[in-house]
Structure 1
Amino acid sequence: MSIELELTDVDLFYGRVHALQGLSFSVGEGEVVSLLGNNGAGKTSTLSMLSGLYRAKSGSITWRGADITQAKPWDLVEKGLIHVPEGRRIFSTMTVHENLQLGGYQVKDKALIAKRIEESYELMPRLFERRNQQGGTLSGGEQQMVAIARAYVGGPQLLLLDEPSMGLAPLVVKQVMELISSISAQGTTILLVEQNARAALKVADRAYVIESGKVTISGTAAELSKDRAIIEAYLG
Structure 2
Amino acid sequence: MAMLEFDNVAVYYGKVQALRGISLTVEEGEIVALLGNNGAGKTTTLSTASGLVKSHSGRVSFNGTDITKAMPWNVVGAGLIHVPEGRRIFSTMTVLENLLLGGYLVKDRALVAKRIATVYELLPLLAERSTQQGGTLSGGEQQMLAIGRALIAGPKMLMLDEPSMGLAPLIVARVMQVISEIRDQGTTVLLVEQNARAALKVTDRAYVIDGGTTTIEGRAVDLLGDSRIIDAYLGA
TM-score tier by shorter-chain length is: over 0.9
State the partner residue of 2:192.
193
In structure 2, give the amino acid aligned to 1:152.
L
State the partner residue of 1:210.
209
Distance 2:22 2:45 in 1: 9
Q: CA deviation at 1:187?
A: 1.2
1:33-52 superposed matches below 5 A: 33-52=32-51
In structure 1, give the amino acid aligned to 2:161.
D
Distance 2:186 2:29 in 1: 5
In structure 2, give the amino acid aligned to 1:43.
K
Q: CA deviation at 1:65?
A: 1.0
What TM-score comes out, normalization by structure 1 length?
A: 0.99
Distance 2:90 2:158 in 1: 20
State the partner residue of 1:178.
177
Q: CA deviation at 1:66?
A: 1.0
State the partner residue of 1:129.
128
Unaligned runs of 5+ in 1: none
In structure 2, give the amino acid aligned to 1:129.
E
State the partner residue of 1:71.
70
1:178-201, CA deviations, whole angstroms, 9 ceiling, x for partnerless residues? 110010001101100000000100
How many matched pairs? 235
1:93-172 superposed matches below 5 A: 93-172=92-171
1:63-98, CA deviations, whole angstroms, 9 ceiling, x for partnerless residues? 111111100001000000111000000000000011
1:143-175, CA deviations, whole angstroms, 9 ceiling, x for partnerless residues? 000000000001011101000000000000011
Distance 1:168 1:51 in 2: 25
Distance 1:108 1:214 in 2: 39
Sequence identity of aligned pairs in percent?
66
Q: CA deviation at 1:3?
A: 1.3
Q: CA deviation at 1:6?
A: 0.7
Please tell me the root mean square deviation across aligned C-alpha atoms, in Å. Answer: 0.6
Distance 1:19 1:142 in 2: 32
